Structure 1
Amino acid sequence: MTNVKVIFFGQLRTFTGTRERTISLEDSADLSHLISRLNEEYDNFEAQINSIKGLRILVNGREYELTGGLNTPLYEGDTVVFLPPVFGG
Structure 2
Amino acid sequence: MIHLELLFFAQIREVTGVRTTGAVLPDGSRLIDLIEHLTAVYGKNFGEKIESIDGLRILINGREYYLLGGMEALLAENDTVIFLPPIAGG
Aligned residue in 1 for 2:74:
73
The two structures, once aligned, show a CA RMSD in angstroms of: 0.6
By percentage of residues, which structure has more helix?
2
Equivalent position amino acid for 2:72 in 1: N
- Check if 1:7 corresponds to 2:39: no
Kindly provide the CA deviation profile for residues 15-57 of structure 1, in whole angstroms up to 9, marking residues without a partner as x.
Answer: 1000001100001101011000001001111111111111000
User: After superposition, where does 1:41-56 map in structure 2 within 5 Å?
Assistant: 41-44=41-44, 45-56=46-57
Paired with 1:51 and 1:69, the residues of 2 have a C-alpha distance of 17
With structure 1 as the length reference, what TM-score do the two structures score? 0.97
Gaps of 5+ in 1: none
User: Taking every aligned residue pair, what percent have the same amino acid on both sides?
Assistant: 48
Secondary structure at the residue paired with 2:15? Answer: helix
* Correspondence 1:9-24 to 2 at 5 A: 9-24=9-24
Q: Flag as ranges the 4+ runs of structure 1 deviating above 2 A.
A: none
